[in-house]
Amino acid sequence: MKTRKLGSGNLEVSEIGLGCMGMSWSYGPPKDKQEMIALIRYAVEKGVTFFDTAEVYGPLLNEELVGEALEPFRDSVVIATKFGWQPNPGDSDRWSALNSRPEHIKRVAEQSLKRLRVDAIDLYYQHRVDLEVPIEDVAGAVKELIDEGKVKHFGMSEASAQTIRRAHAVQPVAALQSEYSLFFREPEQNVIPTLEELGIGFVPFSPLGKGFLTGKIDANAKFDSADFRSTVPKFSEENRRKNQALVDVITTFAKERNATPAQIALAWLLAKKPWIVPIPGTTKLDRLDENLGAADVQLSESDVATLEEASSKVKIEGARYSEFHQKLVGR
């Protein structure tokens, strides 16, 4: 697999990474640990060098899984993880409290290092912007961790262009991770131009629209109570029925190019900018192979324009998060 550099820094990764969240959290009950270790190691064999996790996934389980799976390959892979949440036992969602205070960042970084079985965190994202802590203090804390050799690169997630600029002035931001796909193109308005100007890489999560763009989820699909999509307005039965028109557009486009809808959705991202690296997640080997096959689908500028023209005619219905989590993005 080819590699890409995230922005103007020296962070080089496979052009498609692997999001590991769903192996432990958010898309139903945790999957079998040994099966997931095997899947992660299979991804390494296929050329994937970029793996994404976070302390809150599980919580804590996913970092432990990724750490064990990748320990034999430590020198040849890049592991990204995230900070910024803390347990909040008094809340119905016990990890719904944000905390990016410098002392907290430094404490949880030590814990993540142990779970990941590494000496340094390759890419350390602030998971969500904490309005109680100046972003300059957050960037400064990560800068100190970098100076100490415990972190290699600073990242942000779901931050606004203005906040990215402020953080970048204190400690260069290597990559921004945010949702971006044909199902959600809002970053094109302000965020992507800012990243290009500052030389920051972009790591789209949910590049397959939380599975919707694969064409395997229709209005009749049922979600487990542990699957967060059961609470997402965009995934209500009514909105899935309306949003199916986008999947139909992508499916038609894919058939004309002997590819799957998922491969077209990923190939579109790869064609947008040379510093964009999507991280589709999966728990299935055949789906992993399908996703990685997107690297072989080359879309021309004309292809991209044709796909965007057709897909932009579809009005997407529903918010992408529940009310609580919607408040935490774009800050």
Q: How far are the Cα atoms of 169, 203, 274 from residue 197, in angstroms, in the given order?
A: 13, 16, 14
Q: What are phi and psi of 268, to 5 degrees?
A: -60, -45
Q: Is 124 a catalytic residue?
A: no
**Which one of 57, 124, 125, 180 is the catalytic residue?**
57
Beta bridge partners of 123: 80, 153
- Catalytic positions are 57
